[in-house]
Amino acid sequence: MTLALAPRRTVLADFVPGALVRDLTLVVAGAAFTGLAAQVALPIPGSPVPLTGQTFAALLVGASLGWQRGATSMLLYLIAGVAGVPWFQGGSSGVPVSLGYVVGFVFAGALVGYLAGRGGDRTPLRTIGTMALGNLAIYSVGVPWLMAAAGMSFGKALAVGVLPFLIGDALKVALAAGVLPGAWALVRRR
């Protein structure tokens, strides 16, 4: 079975005029938005990884900016945070045990942006699929990193680094399924 995707279309960011300045501004703004969303951090008992808004922001940035700008924005977020900008969860910086999830944001930004560029954010159902795949990309890097950084088994890393977040992820995906197609409806009215 093959996944039939629509040909490359624009993403929401393509409607902002001025190519180079626009792209630089959007990349920085996407990283800053993710940093702001990371300040919403709720500790999860028994887990070294808090529940934050940064996952939602990373996926939204990827979908809105497209794969190149989305991945670049998340790479900027990652590099700046490791370099000392206090915008990881709860105002931290450096290399936390949860940094693998942030590395996963780069891949998720690219994947979600790619899918959005092919219509993966135009309807609620397609947005749900796109965001679910983005979350899988984040977990595929975050869980092995957590295993290595915290010396956990795979089962333990799943128990503390994935399972407590699934309900929150489902809510974030549902929110994105309303926000992104809604934004496209507004753009089409112009």
When pLDDT is cut at 50, 70 and 90, the band that residue 151 belongs to is very high
When pLDDT is cut at 50, 70 and 90, the band that residue 97 belongs to is confident
More confident residue, 84 or 95: 84
Number of structural domains found in the chain = 1
Token reading at 185: 């409806």
Q: What is the pLDDT of residue 87?
A: 86
What is the arithmetic mean of pLDDT over 83-110?
85
What is the arithmetic mean of pLDDT over 6-27?
75
Closest CA to 118 of 11, 2, 1, 3: 11
- CA dist., res. 30 & res. 83, Å (int): 18
When pLDDT is cut at 50, 70 and 90, the band that residue 9 belongs to is low
What is the arithmetic mean of pLDDT over 163-168?
92
The residue segments making up the domain with residue 98 are 17-189
- CA dist., res. 143 & res. 149, Å (int): 10
What is the arithmetic mean of pLDDT over 35-39?
92
Residue in the structure block whose two tokens are 């931290």: 92
- Answer yes or no: is 65 within a domain: yes
Q: What is the pLDDT of residue 64?
A: 94
Helix, coil or strand: residue 52: strand
- Answer yes or no: is 11 within a domain: no
CATH number (domain holding residue 120)? 1.10.1760.20
42 burial level (CB within 10 Å; 0-12, 13-18, 19+): exposed
- Answer yes or no: is 12 within a domain: no
- Answer yes or no: is 25 within a domain: yes
- Cβ proximity of 87 and 81 under 8 Å: yes
Q: What is the pLDDT of residue 91?
A: 65
Cα dihedral 179→125→138→119 (10° resolution): -80
More confident residue, 90 or 46: 46
- Answer yes or no: is 1 within a domain: no
What is the arithmetic mean of pLDDT over 10-18?
71
- Answer yes or no: is 53 within a domain: yes
When pLDDT is cut at 50, 70 and 90, the band that residue 14 belongs to is confident
- Answer yes or no: is 10 within a domain: no
- Answer yes or no: is 85 within a domain: yes
When pLDDT is cut at 50, 70 and 90, the band that residue 33 belongs to is very high
Mean pLDDT estimate for the chain: 89
